[in-house]
Amino acid sequence: MGNLCTCFSPKTPVKTKKPTKRLQGNPQTAPNSSNRWTRIRSTRKEFKDNHDELIREQALAAAIMFRQLQQQNGSASGSFPFDRSVSLRYPNGSGSKKTQLPRSSSSRARSLTDPLLQPHQLVNQDIKLDDLETNHFVLVHGGGFGAWCWYKTIALLEEGGFKVTAVDLTGSGIHSSDTNGITSLSQYVKPLTDFLDKLADGDKTILVGHDFGGACISYAMELFPHKVSKAIFVAAAMLTNGQSTLDMFSQKAGSSDLMQQAQLFVYANGNNHPPTAINLDKSLFRDLLFNQSPGKDVALASVSIRPIPFAPVLEKLSLSELKYGTVRRFYIQTPEDNAIPITLQESMINSSPPEKVFHLKGADHSPFFSKPQALHKLLVEISKIPST
């Protein structure tokens, strides 16, 4: 085929190379003489020689200066102390420049919606923690999760000087109880309510609830409203009086069946009795809970998530305006959420409007993994909102 194409291709005229004539006579009078190349080479050699000479002079000057410094410091033996640091240091109050923190060596591109914050950016310098109503965050995980899921948030808050408590609800995380034995919401939330009960009078906290943890902090707010300064719902079930978490999820029916596909019911008491717990299909983990999260965090979750107790999900909350209603509520939306879609989040917000709603751009259902820096920034921002 190639030969056929060659046969029918137009012939290209062959250019003949003209013989080069050498000029005779004095080479200085020839305009194309190679003498100019001789001059260039000579100029380059002179430049190199001058450059080498300059380097030698600089080295000699440096050696003389070094020797003078040795003599000024009284070190005849030549053991002048040498500072091996190549970074500039500006003592406090003696320099106009700020010390630059080292940049990350990671080659992974930073997300514009979750910028890397340096430690000095975690809390504004003009705000003192003592000026806040409370600097104590209590983090409450969602169904199946544990205190482990907050590890990034805990580190960031503590670096900013905040006090942080992350609880393992009954049958979650490292709590030793069997999930199948949990029969009520009060039993499930007991580690949280026990913690709040032991707080000294006058001590207040900022409760942060994720997922089913939203129903859990609501339950605690009804019992201990005087010990809760603010409540932050992060992609969480924010229920109304007489509503259960199952009621909330039923609003989602027909919009997406991913959650239904992922649910695996456990019948520890036999198939003739109601389910005792809910497992999640790990093959659907990423799509359902971690569609924007790093793989290492998905791997952590896959070996850490435990079954969700079924009875607490069925229980309807009893919330009053005199107790639950007195606590300031804030909601953080996660627009890329496949577990509690943004439409369902907006439905809960409209049914029981909080004081303020924040939008965490690019976050999936687990923003403590997918957007830890941005989530941290919002938590700190909410902590600073003064009383009205």
Residues taking part in catalysis? 211, 337, 365
Comparing CA positions, the residue from 222, 224, 225, 248 lying closest to residue 235 is 248
- Long-range own/partner contacts, residues 186-193 (CB < 8 A, 24 or more apart): 186/219, 187/312, 188/216, 188/309, 188/311, 188/312, 189/216, 189/219, 189/220, 189/312, 191/167, 192/138, 192/140, 192/167, 192/216, 192/217, 192/220, 193/219, 193/220, 193/223, 193/224
CB neighbours of residue 324 within 10 Å: 24
For residue 166, what is the enclosing H or E element? strand 163-167
Is-contact 242 316, C-beta < 8 A? Answer: yes
DSSP secondary structure string, 170-221? Answer: TTSTT--S-GGG--SHHHHHHHHHHHHHHSPTT--EEEEEETTHHHHHHHHH
Comparing CA positions, the residue from 104, 120, 163, 142 lying closest to residue 379 is 163
Is-contact 296 366, C-beta < 8 A? Answer: no
